[in-house]
Structure 1
Amino acid sequence: MPFTSVNAIVIDPQTPSTIYAGLRRYTDISGGAGGVYKSTDGGVTWSDFSTGLPRVVHALAINPQNPNTLYAGTADGVYKTTNGGTSWSAVNTGLPFRSIFRSIINAIVVDPQAPDVLYAASEEGKIFKSTNAGNNWTTVYTPSVAGQVNSLYALVLDPENPETIYAGGHPGSILKSTDSGATWNTVNTDSLPNTIVRSLAINPQASTMLYAGTHAGVYRSMDAGANWDVRNEGINTFYVEELAIDPQTPSTLYAAGRKIGVFKSTDGGLNWRPVTAGLNLDFPVEALEVAPSLPTTVYLGNGLGVYKSTDAGTTWSQVNSGFPAGPDVYSLAVHPQNADIVYAGTQVGTTKIGKVFKTTDGGANWVETSTGIFLRSFIPVRALAIDPQAPDTVYAVVGKWVYKSTDAAASWNIMNNGLELPGSSITALVVDPQTSGTLYVATTEAGIQKSTNGGISWSPVNTGFPNDPVFGISVFDLAINPQVPSTLFAATNKGVYRSSNGGASWSELNDGLVLRRNKRHVVRLAINPQSPNIVYAGTLYNGIFVLQDSAAPPELRIYLPLVLRSP
C-alpha cells in the first residue's frame, strides 16, 4: 500500500479479532487513505471508520474496560469515539494551539485501573493529562529548555502502579513520574546514550523491567529506569522505532526499525533474530502490536498497510482488503468561480500512468478526464493550471509536453510547437491572470518558455539567467504577481530571480537567502495574493524564507527550521 502509511494499531482487549489502524497519507501529495480503519475479522477485511477525524492519525489508545471508547492522537489534537469508531469528535479543551491547529499528539495512554484518566504526549515535548475522559486537559510537563528540539514519541504506564509513567523522545532522556504526572524527572542521565527514544515497553508481569527502542538500538532497565544496558546482539541496525512484548511470555519481544523489518528475542533481549518472511523491507515499520489474548498473532503497520503474523512472527502476510487504492496526486487546480470543481493530476496503477481526474462535487466523486493525453508510465501529470479569464480552458503538463483543453477537460490537445526541450522536462506552468492566453512554463534545463497565444507557439525568455554548462538553466517553480502580472518570480538552483517585464529579462534576488553547501536551491514559491510584494521561497536545504520586498533589511527575513528537508 504505497499510498498510505499505518502509524498506530490497537487491538480490542476483549474481542481480539477487532483491530483499529491509525493511518496517514504516505506523502503529503498522495491521494491515499488517512484516519482510522477497523477490522472485525482479524484483519481479513477493513472499513473506513474516520467520520469526524482529521486525515493524519499518529496514535491510538483504547479503554480496556469499555473498548468502544477509543482516543486518537492526530495532527490537530485528540479525538474520541464512544461507539467503536463509527463517529469521532474533538476533545481538545485545554490543549494549546500550534499555529492554527492544536498540538500534534504522538502518544496517548489510558490508565487501566481508572480509564477516565489519560495522558498525551506532543510533538512540542509537552505532556497533558485528563481526568474526565478527555473532556478537559491540563499541561503536566513542559520542556525546561525552550527553543531546542523537544519531541515526545512514547508514553507507557506501569500496569501494576499506574501512578508511575514513563515518556521518551528527543532529546534522548527518559522522563519518569511517580505521582500521576504531578512531577517529572529524568532517569537515565548516565547509562542511556543521548539519542532519540522512539518507543517504550514494560514487562507486564515485572513492571520494573523496561525496554527502550532508540536510534542507538534496544536498551533494557531492570530497576525502573535507574540504569540501562544495551541489548542489540543480532540486530543489524541502531534505528529501532517500535517495540512490543508478548503479554503472556514477557521474555519474548519484537523490535522493528527502518528498512529492517522485525527482529524477535525470546530471552528478554539478550539475543535477536530477524523474522521478516513475507515483509516488504522498503518501508519503515510504524506500528507493532501483539494480540493480548492470542500472542502468536502479531500485527504490523507500514507504508504498505497492515501485515499479520499468526505464528509469532515467523511469516507475515498483507491484510488490506477494503483499504482504498488511491492515486499519487501531483497537482491540483480549483475552478476560480466554483470551488466544487477541482482537477487532479495523478499517477495511478502499478505502472504509474499519468492521468487527469475531475470532480464537480467538491471531491465526493471523481472521474477520469484524460481523453487526448498520451498516457505514459512513470510520468505523472506534474502541473495543472486554469485560465482565470476562461475557466473552461485548462492546461496540463505531462513530462515535457503541454496539453490544453477548452472544454473543461473533456478532451485535450498537445501544444508543444516551438517548445524545444531536449533532455528536459517541465516543472511548473502559470497563466497570466489578466491576459488570457499568456503562459509561462519552467523547465529543468531549458529555463523558462513563454507563449502569448494560448500555447500555439512558444519562445525562450531567459535573458539574465546564469547558464550552467552541465545542467543548463534549472527552474523548479514560477509565481506571478496577480495584480501586476508582468512581474514574475522564478525558483532556480541558483536562488530566486525576478522579471518585471513579462520575462523579457531577469535579475537575481538573493540578498539574505542563506547559502548551504554552496547552494541556494529554491524549489517552491508562493505570493501573498493581497500583498503581492510578500513572496515566500521554499528551499531544499535551508527551510522557508519570506521577502517583504527586494530592499527588505535582513531582520525582515523569516527562517522556519521545521520545514528543513534532508538532502
Structure 2
Amino acid sequence: MLGLYPEGDPAIPGSYAGGIFKSTDFGETWTDISGDLPHQPYEDPTDPPPFYEYWKFTVSPTNPNLIYTATNFGNWGDVWGIYKTTDGGTHWSYVYNDVSLGWMDDNFWPDHNYTVLRMAPSDPNQLIAGSVRLLRSTNGGQSWTAAYTTVVGGGWQGNGVELMIAQDIAFDPTDANRIYVGYDDFGFWRSDDGGSSFIRLDPHQGPYGDVGYEAALSIVVDPVNGDVYLGRNNGDTVEWQEDYPNGKVWKSTDHGVQWAEITTGLPEGRPQLVMDTSSPINARVLYCASYGNGVYKSTNSGASWSGVNNGLGTAAGLAFKIAMDPNNTQTLYVGMRTIWGGTGGIYKTTDGGANWIKLTTFPEQDILCLAVDPNDSQVLYAGAVDAFGWSESGGLYQSINGGATWSLILNQPRVNAVVPIPGEPGVVFADVAPWFQFFPNQESGFYYSADGGSSWENIGDGLGHKHVVVAKLNPHNTNQIMVGTLGGGMWKMDRATLSVDSGNIRP
C-alpha cells in the first residue's frame, strides 16, 4: 500500500489527485482504495493544496481488509482525524469522535493531523496515533485518550514521550513544593506538589498576540514574597545575529496566574534575568541581558528599566547570558553570543553595571552559560563554543582568579548549564548537548566532578534523552537536581546516588 501526494493545477478545480493505493503484484499495478474518503476541495484557484491529505495508514496483519488512515497537514475542520475501513477501502468510517487530548487540547494545539499511526500486531483494536501528541485507542478507534500524559489531581504528569524543550527551571524559595518550568514552544508551567504533576499556565500556545512569545526562557522568583519575573520570546533559538527576536518581561504576584508586562525603558529582545536578592523588598534590583540591545537594570522591581552598557561598546547587542556573584551582588558577568563565532567573550562589572570591562584572556567564543561558584567568588565557570550555529570546539572553562585567566576543564562543546554546589567546594555538575552535529570526541549527557573539574564522569545514562539543556539545584533539597532536556521533558537526579529517578518524568 502507498499514500500519494496530491498533485494538480490550482487553476483547474478538482484536478488534485492523491490518496491510498494498493498493489497485489509487488508494485507492478496499483488500485485506488481511497473509496469514499473525503478530499479537501480546491475550487478556489488561490487556495493552495495541502502537502498530503492521507499520509499514514496501518493494516491488520491478519485481516488485510481492516485498514486505518489519518489526515496530515491541512485545516479540514470537522473532517480531519482518523478513518477506518473493514472492506478493503470501498467504504470508510470516521473514528475520531470521542477524543481526550490531554493538556495539549484544541485551545493550545488545534492540530489533528498525524504523522504516526500504528496498530498492535497482536490486537487490531489497540492503536497509537499522533504527531506532537500521542493518542491511544483500545477499542478500534471508538474512543481515544492521551498516551503522553496522565491526569494527577488538578495537573498533568508526563508518561515519558514528551516532545518538550526546556529553557529554565525555578524553585520557589517561599514554598518547597512549588516549581516553575519554562519551555521553548510550550510555554510556562507550575508544579504545586514538588514536581509530581504540573499545571499549564498558558491558555494557548503563543499567549500574547501575533508574536506569541511562546518561549518561557528566564524565570526569577523573589525569595521573600514569591513574585515571579518571566522573560519570554517568540521561540527562535538559533536566529541570525542581525535578526534579533522579539522578547519581553512579565511579572506575576499570584504564582503565574495573572501577568503584567514590565517593559518601560526595556526594548524588545531575547531576555535573561537575574535579581539582587539583597535589595529592598519593595524596590528589587533586577538586571536583564536583552539580546539585540544590551544590559538593562531596574531598581524598582521592574517598573522601569535603564541601559547600563558603559564599556560594552558595539558588543552590547550580543549580551546573551548574565550571572551575578551571590556573595557580592555588585559584581556581574555578561556573556556574548554571535552565530558564527569570532566576537563573543565575557565582560565584568564590579559596580552594579555602571562600568564593564572585557575579560581579554577568555577565548573569543560564544557563551552558552555562566556561573559564579557560591563557595568562592574567584571561581567562575563559562560554557562556550567556537560558533553558536555550527560548533566544533569549546567546552567548560574555569577561572580561579575572578576572570583574570581561564582554563578548559571539560572538552565537550555545547555546555549549556553548570551547577556548582553550595557548601561543597569543588563539586560541580555540567550538561553537554551537542545537538547541531556530532564529532567523535563529543558525548552528550550530564557530567559530574568532585575535584573542581580535574576529572569528570558522565552520569546521564539513565536519562531518556541525554541532550540536557538546563539544570538547577533544588534549594529545599540539595541532594536533588532537576534537569530539562532538548525534547525529552524534565527529570530528577538524586545526588546521593548520582542516578536518575526514572519514575519522575514530567511535562
What is the TM-score with the length of structure 2 in the denominator? 0.47
- Relative contact order (alpha carbons < 8 A, sep ≥ 6): 1 or 2 greater? 2
What is the TM-score with the length of structure 1 in the denominator? 0.43
